[in-house]
Chain A
């Protein structure tokens, strides 16, 4: 790669980073990142020993490909369950998708342990499909169009 191209790429990357940070400040979005190494966590309103003994199926399914820890939550809130992908957890889309798979498993495990089911969304009433970019645009700011 020529130095000028590399420099341009670096500058563009920096500019995107700065723009994102400025946007986050402008929109007041909470600064909660999702670094690749962090544990993903949920608090489950069930005794930790029960979860350890009968790990809900969504987590049990991933058991060999995640690191998992369960500990007592303070204040009688049940169990704090933390998980993150081991290096071996492969997902078609890469590390972010692997983390999303763990996040979904944690949420579903919590729902099953607490309520006995994972709530399904309503079937859309919309006659017209939603364009993916619509949601992206909304996620970036206000919904007004």
Chain B
């Protein structure tokens, strides 16, 4: 089958690879109808994530059709249209039972590797490095879905494939940031980064009753999208001092909830950007955290900061004093998608939430390297590229 493979830092190729097989009784095989590029893939592609393996199939956000089920799969049958959560959760360890699915104890077959690298055992995800399970990704014609009864969800008839596709990862991640960030009616919420996750975080904040949502980015088309679909006010961070602007707009308080959705893609400006670049080149740290720093400084006293962006290593110049003396709550997580996916599908079916606008570009899987080029450099107003393996 055709699949998009990682060929080393910065290099991608569509290759013929063996089709996946059922390896456990609770597995099923899904034929991918649509899959999309994600910002966290860029960190993998550029080689910033340890234990990547040449030939690894990328992609973790997908929708498709069940073509084979293992003997212990109870909730799905061949022919079902399903959306699959990007992280792999067993559904029965304490973390899954507590709705913290991305912390699953049983989804990563090689947790020792993660512990050797980072000192802890990370959960597993599709299309990621061996440290996070090494499961093949969704930029392929077929994907093996472990713990299928817990990771795959039937798509209602009223929801088309493209709308469902973003319920795999972007929508639940964004929703989680607003929900676990504690957004409540009357709040002012600021969102750093207007990629798909940031867009969904802004929409979620609005749906959870925020009085105002302020979206921060440097790309005009992304800011316009947040304004149109989430009703957000916008800030171009290259044109102003974000903290000063947020204070001015919030009566000197700062936002109640700050959601960081930029991850290692975050780019500081001016001298800070120069300093960040040197630090990374010297390998003194791996993560660019300018958006997190700004969120901590900007947040109102006693407010909440949620880190949604993808980070793997260490950073510095973290404003620990501001965190402590302002009495902030800082939370972070990879997506606990299984917790939110059924609710999000219902919201889309009822017309309360729209995700289709995220798919700014669509193309066959065979053109995926070109798609990632568009996506990485934000060319042609690209927010997300959707790949169709069968096209």
Contact = CB atoms under 8 A, between A and B. Distances in A.
A28 B313 contact: yes
Contacts of B248: none
A143 B47 contact: yes
Contacts of A138: 50-52, 117
Given A115-B90, A115-B106, A142 B56 contact: no
A103 interface: yes
B46 interface: yes
Interface string B41-61: 000001111111111110000
B259 to A, nearest CB: 24
B154 interface: no
B133 A32 contact: no
Contacts of B54: 126, 128, 130
Nearest to B88: A119
Q: Which of A121, A122, A141 is the most central at the interface, judged by chain B CB atoms within 10 Å of its CB?
A: A122
A26 interface: yes
Q: Which of A43, A124, A143, A144 is the most central at the interface, judged by chain B CB atoms within 10 Å of its CB?
A: A143
A106 B54 CA distance: 31
Given A122-B23, A125-B5, A138-B52, A114 B116 contact: no
Interface in B28-46: 46
Interface residues of A, number: 41
Interface stretch (B91-99, B180-188, B266-274, B338-346): B91-99
B75 interface: no
Contact of A121 (B8, B50, B110, B285): B110
A130 B53 contact: yes
Interface in A23-58: 26-32, 42-43, 45
B337 interface: no
A7 B275 CA distance: 42
B138 interface: no
Contacts of A119: 24, 90, 106-107, 109, 146-147
29 contacts: A26-B284, A27-B314, A28-B285, A45-B92, A45-B97, A78-B94, A103-B112, A114-B92, A115-B93, A115-B106, A116-B25, A117-B24, A119-B106, A119-B107, A119-B146, A122-B144, A123-B20, A123-B23, A124-B134, A125-B55, A126-B5, A127-B15, A135-B113, A141-B283, A142-B283, A143-B9, A143-B52, A143-B129, A144-B9
The 9 closest A-B pairs by CB, nearest first: A30-B119, A126-B55, A28-B314, A144-B47, A125-B17, A138-B50, A121-B109, A143-B50, A120-B23
Given A124-B53, A126-B56, 20 more contacts: A27-B313, A30-B120, A31-B119, A42-B105, A100-B112, A114-B93, A117-B26, A119-B24, A121-B134, A123-B18, A124-B55, A125-B17, A127-B55, A130-B54, A138-B117, A141-B283, A143-B47, A143-B51, A143-B52, A144-B47
Interface of B: 3, 5, 8-9, 15, 17-18, 20-21, 23-26, 46-57, 72, 90-94, 97, 105-107, 109-113, 115-120, 129-130, 133-136, 144, 146-147, 283-286, 313-314
